[in-house]
Amino acid sequence: MMTQARESLRGKWQLAVGVWCIYALITILAGDVEGMGPVLQVLIDGPLFLGLSVFALAISRDKEASISQLFTGFNDFIRTLVAYLLMGIFILLWSLLLIVPGIIAALAYSQTFFILAEDKSISAQEAITKSKTMMNGHKKQLFFLSLRFLGWFLLSILTLGIGFLWSLPYFYVTLAKFYDKIAKKSAQ
C-alpha cells in the first residue's frame, strides 16, 4: 500500500504538500485565537478531516484532486462536527480504562471520515459503527502499517517538522489505499 501511495502521489507531491501546509496554517491560527483557540479548533477539525479524506481518496484513486477539497467538510459542518466529537468522546472513554483500549478504539473508528466522504446520506454515528464493523479483523494490520511510518515521523521531527510536509500526505494517501482495500473486502 505504501508503494501504491507513492505511485499515486507521483506528480502530485506539490499539491499534496500545499494542502497540508494550508491545513497546518489553519489549525495553528485557529489554536492561537485568544480565549477561543480550543473551541475553534474543535469546530474546524471535523470538517477539515473530512476534507483531507476527500483529498486523499481523490489522489489514491488517481482522480482530480484540488486544494478546494480540503474545505468540502464545511458544506457538511454538523455531520462532521458530530463525528469528530463522538469519536473523541468514545476514544477518551476507552482510554480511561487504559491506553491500549484507547488505541484499539482509535483504530476501530479510523475509517469514519473516509466513510463520510463517500456516503453523504450516512449519519455520524452510523459512520462510526460502520468503521468499527469494517475494521473487525483489520486493526492489527492498520496498527502495523502505521508503525511503518514511525521512522518517517521521527525523521520529520529531526528536520524540525519540515519533513511532515511530505510524510503526512504520504501517510494519509496510504490510509486511503488501506480504506479502499478493506471497503472492497467488506462489500463482498
pLDDT number for residue 5: 94
What's the confidence (pLDDT) of residue 16?
Answer: 96
- Residue 45 pLDDT exceeds 70: yes
pLDDT at 14 over 80: yes
| Mean pLDDT on 112-141 | 96
Q: What is the pLDDT of residue 98?
A: 83
Which residue has cell 488517481?
62
Q: Which amino acid is at 19?
A: V
Which residues have C-beta within 8 Å of that of residue 54, sequence separation ≥ 6?
69, 72, 73, 117
Provide the whole-model pTM.
0.92
How far is residue 51 from each of residues 5, 144, 188, measured CA to CA in Å?
18, 25, 27
Position 188 scores a pLDDT of 66
Handedness of CA 148, 70, 105, 153 (dihedral sign): positive
With contact defined as beta carbons under 8 Å apart, do 20 and 168 qualify? yes
Provide the pLDDT confidence category of residue 38 given band limits of 50, 70 and 90.
confident
Interval 55-104: pLDDT, tens: 999 999 999 999 999 999 999 999 999 999 999 999 999 999 888 999 99
C-alpha cell at 5: 501511495
Domain that holds residue 61: 2-187
Number of independent structural domains in the chain: 1
Q: What is the DSSP letter of 64?
A: -
Q: What's residue 158's pLDDT?
A: 95
- 26 grid coordinates: 489553519
Residue 187 binned pLDDT confidence (cut-offs 50, 70, 90): confident
The whole-angstrom separation of Cα 2 and Cα 8 is: 10
Whole-number pLDDT of residue 37: 81
Closest by alpha carbon to 75, among 103, 134, 116, 106? Answer: 116
Residues 169-185 pLDDT 10s: 999 999 999 999 999 88
* Structure confidence by residue, pLDDT tens digits, 140-173: 999 999 999 999 999 999 999 999 999 999 999 9
